[in-house]
Amino acid sequence: MSIDIEKAYQHWLDNANDSLQEELNNMSENGKLECFSSSLTFGTGGLRGFLRAGTNGMNIYTVGQATQGLANYLKSNFKNPSVAIARDSRNMGWEFVKVCVCVLAANGVTVYYSEDVESTPGLSFSVRKLHCSAGICVTASHNPAVYNGYKVYGPDGCQITTKAANAISDEIAKTDVFEDVKFLNFRDAKETEFAKLIGPEVREAFIDAACECSVVDDEEAAKAEAAKLNLTYTALHGTGYPEVMEVLSRNGFTNVTSVKEQAEPDGNFPTTSYPNPETDEALSLGLEYMKKNNSDLLIATDPDADRVGVMVKHGDEFIRLNGNEVGILLFNYICEARAKRGDALSNLVMCTTIVSSDIVDEIAAHYGVEVRRVLTGFKYIGEQILHLEEDDEKYRFMFGFEESCGYLAGTHVRDKDSISSTLLIAQMAAMYKAQGKDLVDILEDIYKQLGYYKNGQVSVEYPGVEGQEKMREVLSNLRSNPIKEYCGLKVVSSNDYKEGIKMLVLNGDENSPDEKLPKSDVLEYVLDGGQKIIVRPSGTEPKIKVYCFSNADTESKSQKLLDKFKESANELLS
């Protein structure tokens, strides 16, 4: 549907409050195009966009409109609906939380909120603990400071399904951003029976649940090992600091140095332009601390504390592990630790994504663990936990991870959880240190046994309105002109996930799921020798990603293949 940009702009100019009037009055013609030619798309990831005026920006009006749409959906589908809300450290986060409270209370929907910042896994936990119909997390994860977002969760604490997202999106589309949003001022909303503060007991229960994810056999011995680990931690100006430090302290980690410049929440992210723990730049200040303190390990959590990054001291080097490598190590460690304490692993399930390393299949085969590979996005891992829960088999879930530094080893939440993952990573490093090894040594041991599986990613950005069209053109061209070879290697098979692909299940039995994955804009190419590339647009940013996977019997061979794959990725997306 085409939008009359000038009419939409005038509608906002006539109705927006003083906080946006200066921006609107000074908006250039190009600015009008960017801000009013489209609306933010509400999908399974909710909303995410630049903090700015207009239908295509994150502001108090688009947040109010989305919340009215959510309220309409909840009142049609739940008796006495309720919502838990959290926000990370981003700019405008508190303003957006207040808008949500004002709209939900005006609609007679019970709303639980906190005046403090909270992590994304903490929000997921609150939804479950308070038995809410939905959750809202005001966050843009690890995006730069110009972004904010609005993620919606279902009653299981997992991000909403496509069906629910479509129904909410339909309600939003019916709602005029100014005229149809029910609203109380915040002071009046707080006085209603519908607005309730989340008590400290919920956070305490979340900390307890994170600690219960530990897989150590002997707690006293593990605490003695923990005390010998020299650890640096950074919250990257986000929400992780109090919870991570408490979980570590409870489990015997007494030698922990915090990066003080990044410990306090700050939506401007003054020490890092891109607070993504997957990047060297985000870890640079933490690395300075690590070198100064001669730390064994650096752990970084992103602003909403769902992702976690890791750097390891290996001899005289300081090596950043990527998300796949940490996932490989954690899965191997959990299997090893649980087998050691006598747990039967052959009935357990681990979930990962189609863009995560294939080496975990080899580890799973060794221990007899069932593997389920789902689409990118932790909500699909959470969905598999729900399926197990519905069959009274929640206990079977042992671990889930995605290559973008997201991990979960419990069922207390249904999203990535850097709090419990930080504990597991630290305990893993402490145990191996007691054996005279670091995490790089352990990774090398795994590669020597199973093969050198390497992975990397190349992203190409397509900014602005024209960029969206270019992205569609690139993906359409790949479908209409399928590639026959890549870097001199023949394409032996390919999958277009838009057609609906059956979920890959390994080491299963007759009771394992036989289901198709939701259709998704993803192209997968398997090359000679088991090499692989996957092409998919980002779900949160204007970019297309190429995931490259290589494997060989030596590290040098595998690395050379990976380098070739990455070098050719830009040409593939041109």
Integer Cα distance of 307 and 422 in angstroms = 10
- Lay out the sheet containing 256-258: strands in order across: 256-258, 231-234, 297-301, 308-314, 317-321
- Phi and psi dihedrals of 389, rounded to 5? -65, -40
Residue among 74, 82, 53 at smallest CA distance from 178:
53
Query: 214: which 2 tokens?
Result: 């530990």
Please give the DSSP secondary-structure letter assigned to residue 160.
Answer: P
Q: Considering 119, 126, 133, 141, which one is annotated as catalytic?
A: 141
Convert 267-297 to b/e letters by CB count within 10 Å (16 or more is b): bebebbeebbbbbeebbebbbebbeeeebbb
Annotated active-site residue 141? The verdict is yes
Residue among 327, 325, 348, 326 at smallest CA distance from 338:
348
- Lay out the sheet containing 349-353: strands in order across: 406-408, 397-402, 349-353, 370-374, 504-506
Give one DSSP letter per residue of 499-568, joined into a string. Answer: G--BPEEES--TTS---BPPP-S-EEEEEGGG-EEEEEE-SSSSEEEEEEEEEESSHHHHHHHHHHHHHH
Integer Cα distance of 101 and 79 in angstroms = 19
Whether residue 423 contacts residue 210, with contact meaning beta carbons closer than 8 Å, is answered with yes
Residue among 498, 491, 481 at smallest CA distance from 565:
491
Whether residue 119 contacts residue 240, with contact meaning beta carbons closer than 8 Å, is answered with yes
Whether residue 301 contacts residue 417, with contact meaning beta carbons closer than 8 Å, is answered with no
Annotated catalytic residues are: 141
